[in-house]
Chains A and B, each alone.
Chain A
Amino acid sequence: MTDLLSWFSAPARRRPLLRALVAAQVLYVLGVAGAGYATTALGQRVILATTPIDPKDLLYGDFVRLHYAISATPLSAWHGSGAPQRRQAVFVLLATGADSLSTAVGVYPQAPKAGAGQAVLRGWVTDVYRGSFALRFNLERYYVPEGSGLRLEKAGRLHPLRVRVSIAPWGQARITSVDAATK
């Protein structure tokens, strides 16, 4: 029985192994792209509002930094036993309001059942304060074509931006578009 390293580095195996490795890498990248498509195609759509933030901080090179209204949640919305911990994974139950914007109904340590017009978004606790806690959704960066970030920056300074998010049944979420639509 040869050891793992000799098995891998046997000259006869080199070509088939490289082919397999390259094929796996290509498939992996295609898989990432496929997951992106599938999240849009199969996902549940919600619209989240951002809060106006310091415009100087908004635009970071080729992405816009977004800060959501649901990122800051009062502790009364917490449905777990014991206080939320930093870096804890949580589930935010979202309900769509009359203005088609989704707002947080509650934050749960385990995935809650979503009713009609509701959606569940995964998030992480970043900070816990006295009466509230802050969440992160990994939706805080929106990659934009060069130049168009400035338009969003101007809009975001005055009004909340409307961020369309697609949540796949398996929990993955992605931004599909960011509108500067004024209401």
Chain B
Amino acid sequence: MSRKFLDTESPGWVTDGLISEAQRQQLLARYPQEAPALGLLPILGSVLVGLSGLSVVAANWQGLPAALRLALLLGSLLGSYSAGAYFLRRGNPDLGHGLIGLGLLLFGASIILTSQLFQLVGYDASGLLAWVIAGTALSYVYGSRLLVLLTVLIGAAVQTYCVESLGIFSYVTAWLVVGGMGYYWWRRPDTVSATVLAVGLLWQAGLFIIVQHSKITWFFVPAMLIYAAGDWQPNRAGGRALQVPSLVAAYLFMFGLAIFGEADAYANILRPPLLPYLAALVAVLAVSVAGKRARGRLGTLPEWLLLLPGFYLSGGLSLAVATLVVLYAHAGSVLARANREHDPEQLTIGAVLFVAATAVAYFKLTWGFMDKSLFFLLGGVLLLGLSWYLRRRNAQVLAAAAPLVAQQAGTPPTSAAAPEAPEPTHNS
């Protein structure tokens, strides 16, 4: 509840006899007026001044003497770090972390521009490794989401540069991100940082597969290893957040297989040697299952259905049917779990997955067999029926969840006087 809301509304509450004037004063005292952290105009003004300075420097960069360029780089680096520390001390963490993040970016810019200045293009990315290390250390010190995001991005950028320009995979960079940021995630399983980290790691894994010229399906071994790490995380939400990107990747792959897998043209790209691939995947599965069992999350085991290596089947109808069965089984397992746990969000996701699987099945299996108008008629009826059923299920779950919420808020669920109560979602 904002202070402004309190200021404007509370006199009315007193008039209506809801609270006394003394209580109103108590309430106002409870939520003191926040001191304006920093006016908007000064920020805009300093951004404009900064930009003009930047453009002057950038326009004359090549003409400046080397020592001056170096001094400019290091000066702005020191400046943004000290400004960041200053604002943190003044109790303005957003601006403070932002400026420290800027300092980190300037460090990378300094390394690159100094190397260019002296025509030193490193033998490898060792020059840029320092950038990843600095980012990891700063994330540890400040524990800010922004710094974690920047560090993961820097790791991905350095790795991309290594692969694109040098044609090598920098194992040190990869291990710095896995070890440094992975340990951070393990101790502080923040959901946003976890998803960012997982995406960054998947990016590194993808680059590794590209450099190795391996079959692209090998990608799922490191991807599911990330997933398995999420199973072992004691914090459920933090572990889940790490798993989502891997699951999305696996789902999209299975989905693509269902749509395009009919032709057998992919055989050379997708099929790694059967035994090593299955052995690796089963090993990861074992790690994942052990984690699920240890943390009591065996209910999520059906997610591994998406990893069934259907691409070993020869193309054609058998593959299409097999992938569809997997997609349906997966959607069904999500729906079943959502029902069991009374989780409206999962229910929505399950419904979307189910509709997606149905759409694919419909296009793949029935398009060729029937008249177009019949096709659309049947499809419409099918989707309408499905949406009716799912809405009913959703309403039932929400109805079951609402009294619970109401109990926690201490007011009847229909009362409008409880704007603070977590409102039920309006997606029914």
Q: Which residues of A contact B (CB under 8 A)?
A: 3-6, 8-9, 13-15, 17-18, 21-22, 24-26, 28-30, 32-33, 35-37, 39, 62-63, 87, 122, 126, 138-139, 141-143, 145-146, 172, 174-176
Contact = CB atoms under 8 A, between A and B. Distances in A.
Contact of B187 (A3, A21, A145): A3
Given A17-B141, A21-B138, A33 B117 contact: yes
Given A26-B78, A28-B130, A138 B114 contact: no
B107 interface: yes
A29 B117 contact: no
B81 A22 contact: yes
A178 B138 CA distance: 40
A172 B140 CA distance: 33
B402 interface: no
A5 B78 contact: no
Interface in B123-139: 123, 127, 130, 134, 137-138
Contacts of A32: 111, 114-115, 118, 120, 127
27 contacts: A3-B187, A5-B187, A8-B140, A9-B140, A9-B143, A18-B81, A21-B134, A21-B138, A22-B77, A26-B74, A28-B111, A29-B77, A29-B107, A29-B111, A32-B114, A32-B115, A32-B118, A39-B118, A63-B116, A138-B121, A138-B122, A138-B123, A139-B121, A145-B62, A172-B123, A174-B118, A176-B119
A175 B116 CA distance: 11
Interface string B59-94: 000110010001001100110010001000000000
Secondary structure of the B contact surface, majority rule: helix
Interface residues of B, number: 40
Interface string B127-163: 1001000100110111100000000000000000000
Contacts of B115: 32, 36
Given A25-B134, A29-B111, A32-B114, 16 more contacts: A4-B183, A5-B183, A8-B137, A9-B143, A14-B142, A18-B85, A26-B77, A32-B115, A36-B114, A36-B115, A39-B120, A141-B121, A143-B119, A145-B63, A172-B123, A176-B119
